[in-house]
Homo-oligomer: A and B are copies of this chain.
């Protein structure tokens, strides 16, 4: 059930049965010479929809832009500053808590979002305690990172070994190929790919990782792999959601 395709009275009915909601969060950032800029949002969205369908949960609109400041040296990247993103997440949760939701399950497509999401949750819990909104004290937030699901991780290692890398990975590229086969990109990829440098500011990132990849070989990706990743993530995050929403 998609929030965007529901009416407010359907949401009211839903709330009488469940207070859980899935919020897909991605990023709009470079993903190397062949990866789509929307990769993280696309992956989070498709998996969220799948999980929502599988467990009967409401799925909110995708947060397409996240914390990707270190990628802003590449054209097309858009990022919130962490201080902005904290306010955004707070606004989402406060509004939905007023509606009656108390369990917020963020399905996340971008490692760079995790720290700021956690900071935002802490800020929001404290803010809700200040406000004394009805049920504010019951609010719980959880991040489910599809790319960190153990089954996903295991398959990626099997299929790609070291070529999985840590950004613009074949696993995420494969998933976007499965979702958008019409947008599979081909571009020359140097065999040598930078890896192992810590992440600092945007200029340094581009200097260290000149084509945007971090140790990955996205040429290994296939749409069929993408389907496999999709199914694994779907299963694992569905379980995770159910456990979360059913815990007291």
Cross-chain contact A122 with B67 (CB below 8 angstroms): yes
A 113-139 contacts with B by CB, 8 A: 114-116, 118-123, 125-126, 128-132, 137, 139
List chain B residues, Cβ under 8 A from A61. Answer: 28, 38, 41, 64-65, 78
Cross-chain contact B64 with A36 (CB below 8 angstroms): no
A 192-209 contacts with B by CB, 8 A: 198, 200-204
A246 within 8 A of B: no
Cross-chain contact A4 with B38 (CB below 8 angstroms): yes
In Å, the complex CA distance between A185 and B7 comes to 8
A220 within 8 A of B: no
A 1-60 contacts with B by CB, 8 A: 2-12, 15, 28, 30-38, 41-42, 60
List chain B residues, Cβ under 8 A from A36. Answer: 4-7
Cross-chain contact B125 with A69 (CB below 8 angstroms): yes
Copies of this chain present in the complex amount to 6
A 74-109 contacts with B by CB, 8 A: 74-84, 86-88, 91-92, 95-96, 98-100
List chain B residues, Cβ under 8 A from A130. Answer: 131
Cross-chain contact B8 with A77 (CB below 8 angstroms): yes
Cross-chain contact A122 with B70 (CB below 8 angstroms): yes
Which of A100, A115, A198: most chain B CB closer than 10 A?
Answer: A115
List chain B residues, Cβ under 8 A from A33. Answer: 7-9
List chain B residues, Cβ under 8 A from A126. Answer: 69, 72, 81, 201-202
What is the total number of residues of chain A having a CB less than 8 Å from a CB of chain B? Answer: 88
Cross-chain contact B82 with A88 (CB below 8 angstroms): no
| CB contact under 8 A between A4 and B87, given known A70-B122, A115-B114 | no
8 Å CB contact of A37 from B11, B31, B41: B11
8 Å CB contact of A8 from B76, B125, B204: B76
List chain B residues, Cβ under 8 A from A64. Answer: 4, 61-64
Cross-chain contact B12 with A75 (CB below 8 angstroms): yes
**Could you name 19 residue pairs across A and B whose Cβ atoms are closer than 8 Å?**
A3-B28, A4-B28, A4-B37, A4-B38, A4-B42, A4-B64, A5-B36, A5-B38, A7-B35, A8-B77, A69-B125, A70-B125, A72-B98, A75-B99, A84-B91, A112-B122, A115-B115, A115-B122, A139-B200
